[in-house]
Amino acid sequence: MTTHRRPKQPSRTRVTVLTSAAAAAVAFSAQAATAAPSVKPSKNEVKARVDALSEEAEKATEEYDGAKEKQEKLQKEISALQDRVARGQDELNALRDSIGAMATAQYRSGGIDPSVQLLLSSDPDDYLDKASALDQVSGKQVATLKQIQEKERGLAQQRAEATEKLKDLAATRTELGKKKKEVQGRLAASQKLLNSLTTREKAQLAAEEDRANRSSTERVNLGSTPSASGRAAAAFQAAQGRIGTPYVWGASGPSSFDCSGLTSWAYAQAGVSIPRTSQAQATIGTRITSVGDLKVGDLVFFFNDLHHVGLYAGNGQILHAPRTGTNVRYESMDTIGGPFMFGVRV
């Protein structure tokens, strides 16, 4: 006889737990469905982040400029070395030709043993003169051989130096490409942030930047601070003539600039050659540690890593190329965004 058993009923405790869990899941799903979307950053927050990215891009730009300057210097050095090697090889070939010609002439004139020639000579004095000439030719041969040896050693050294510089150039080009991508990445991130703004917010930011550019040229009190020197005055005047030109990373004028591109270009117009990057420019001239001692045309450096430079304009103002999206303009040293480190008088 088959026994029929009733299915085992779940315990009241288990039912309660399952019911509670299901209710919690439903509640969570409802909350997730009705939750407010992530808060969109405000226009000012976007601007602050874009400014920070621009600062990072400017730092990378100075590193890019340094790698580019090194590349150009290496290319010039390699070209000069290759020219010297080519000229040296021509000189070496000429020396080898001359030693061959001397050896041929000596062979033709010295086919008989010298002692036999002396015995057979009808004019011993004449023979001795000829022998002396042959000795001189032999001495010239020795000197030429020494020249050949020295020239070969020199060429080997120059070729080795050129090879090392070519390796350095390849590494520098790799670094240049890396820094270029870094700058472009920062700028792309900035543009992405700007694209998240509404049309109205974009217009407001553009208007603010336009006002900053215009006000820096229309209502700036530069005071009466004297120029550091005649060449500093000439450099400053040249930079003044470029007010309103856009900041472009890696640019060194005359139609666009980055910060150190402007300062190096301005001093070049005054007949003074200074390094291309802000960090290198900070190592030249006489250092000025107090703002009160600055004079018009002095280079002024900001941030601990010295990645930003401008020209002192007087009355606490500088003339500089600030960052991407701005133009060459005057600006108060208090609004640069980083601490004043020191000035340099060229």
Residues with active-site annotation: 259, 308, 320
What is the spatial distance between Cα 262 and Cα 303, in angstroms, rounded to a whole number?
A: 18
Burial class (CB in 10 A: 0-12, 13-18, 19+), 267: buried
Instruction: Name which of 66, 46, 331 is nearest 54 in CA terms.
Output: 46
What is the spatial distance between Cα 78 and Cα 59, in angstroms, rounded to a whole number?
A: 29
Q: What sign results for the dihedral spanned by CA atoms 165, 170, 171, 173?
A: positive
User: What tokens does 107 get?
Assistant: 């062979």
Please state, as a whole number, how many other Cβ atoms lie within 10 Å of the Cβ of residue 86.
Answer: 11
Q: Which CA distances in Å does 60 have to 107, 176, 260?
A: 69, 10, 13
User: What tokens does 233 get?
Assistant: 């005055």
What is the spatial distance between Cα 327 and Cα 243, in angstroms, rounded to a whole number?
A: 7
End-to-end CA distance of the chain: 114
What is the spatial distance between Cα 183 and Cα 177, in angstroms, rounded to a whole number?
A: 10
